Amino acid sequence: MAKHHILLEQAALIGSFTTEATPIISVVSGDSLLFETLDAGWGKGASNKDRFKPFSRREKLDGGHALIGPIYVEQAKKGMTLGITFNEIIPGSYGFTAAGQYPNWQNQMLHLTEYEEITLDWKLDNNRMEGTCRIRDNAYTVGLKPFMGVIGMPPNEADIHSTWPPRFCGGNLDCKELVAGSTLYLPIPVDGAYLAIGDGHAQQGDGEVSCQAIECPMELVDVTVELLQNQTLNNPRANTPSGWITFGFHEDLNEATVQALDGMLDLMGELYGLNRVEAIALGSAVIDLRITQIVNGVKGVHAVLPHDVFK
């Protein structure tokens, strides 16, 4: 199958999910795409002054994260499943994390309004896979596990959709498990798929508690797309190096939890031939429920079934 190299240029960027923009490329199942990405803020990081030329943003199409796309997948039909395998993800040289600047319930509940806004500037080393920032006189270094925060498709044909929430067809998933070696499976909502990917994260904790991870550009994202014509999903699932994952999304964390668990019971039935009561009984010993993120309006929960859990 073909490998397509997408240049980081104005024509390759979009800040929404939509079928109303002309696709930047057409691919077939089994093709790979290699590209570079801006950070989610369209290259506005503090260490980015000379890295990229300025990119303009269209009023309607570019209101959200800086994504590469849309990517048209030939023979993709509504109701099929699209697999996106992350072969390699290499972060850029800088990252940033802001806190205290959003007037939301979280800041009010945590009494963050009594402190100043802060932006941490991270120096990223993609050879050592470490990132370092400073707070006052202290340096803090963390290991990096880069992943893409936004991967998705438009939920219907005739509108321009925000990149901010997660949806059944992807979007702002912000799941730290989707590292290189993972395959994300998304329900295809529109013919042609119109896939878009962006929002590089060098590292993030479950929950993404400040509203941002270590936001960063990516020097290289290498993905392979695959059509699964006979697979039908209601919500995303993923096969990651650490285990299988199923997702739930809702404004209510309880409802998001039910969706994630519902998907895992279906998956365990497929993998092991269990009925749902058997799956939840066995699953109570081995399934981990994790809060994916709480900051995108629509909250995320993912259920994890580790690969090596059954001896």
Note the pLDDT tens digit of each residue in 174-214.
999 999 999 999 999 999 999 999 999 999 999 999 889 99
Structure tokens at 216: 């960063």
pLDDT of residue 46: 45
State the SS3 of 283-300.
Answer: HHHHCEEEEEECCCCCEE
DSSP annotation of 238: E
| Predicted TM-score of the model (pTM) | 0.94
Span between the terminal Cα atoms of the chain, in Å = 37
Average pLDDT of the chain, as a whole number:
92
60-101 pLDDT, tens digit per residue, is 999 999 999 999 999 999 999 999 999 999 999 999 998 876
Q: Checking DSSP bridges between strand 147-152 and strand 138-143, what pairing results, if any?
A: unpaired
Mean pLDDT of 250-277: 98
Q: Greater confidence, 52 or 242?
A: 242
242-306 CATH: 3.10.28.20
pLDDT of residue 51: 55
Q: What is the per-residue pLDDT for 44?
A: 60
221/118 Cα distance (integer angstroms)? 29
Q: Would you say residue 53 has pLDDT above 90?
A: no
Strands 195-201 and 218-228: unpaired
pLDDT grade, residue 105 (50/70/90)? low
Poorest-pLDDT segment among 12-21, 82-91, 154-163, 169-178: 154-163
Is 174 strand, coil or helix? coil
Share of the chain above pLDDT 70, in %: 92
Higher pLDDT residue, 52 or 15? 15
The rounded Cα 190 to chain-centroid distance in angstroms is: 19
Instruction: Classify burial at 264, counting beta carbons within 10 Å of its beta carbon; exposed 0-12, middle 13-18, buried 19 or more.
Output: buried
Q: How far is CA 135 from CA 26, 97, 122, 140, in A?
A: 45, 12, 11, 8
Of 253, 70, 228, 239, nearest to 163 (Cα)? 70
Mark 26-36 as b/e (b = at least 16 C-beta within 10 Å): ebebebbbebb
Closest alpha carbon to 249 in 239, 265, 264, 260? 260
pLDDT at res. 81: 98
What's the whole-number mean pLDDT along residues 7-28?
A: 96
| Residue 107 pLDDT greater than 70, yes or no | no
CATH number of 3-96+142-233: 2.60.120.580
Q: Output the pLDDT for position 113.
A: 59
Return phi, psi of residue 98, to 5°: -105, 155
Alpha-carbon distance of 1 to 193, in angstroms, equals: 19
Strand 195-201 vs strand 17-18: parallel, antiparallel, or unpaired? Answer: unpaired
Distance CA 250, CA 241 (A): 26
In the chain, what are the domain boundaries?
A: 3-96+142-233, 242-306
Rounded distance between C-alpha atoms, residue 100 and residue 51, angstroms: 27
- Please state the rounded mean pLDDT for residues 279-304: 97
Lowest mean pLDDT among 2-11, 27-36, 113-122, 297-306: 113-122
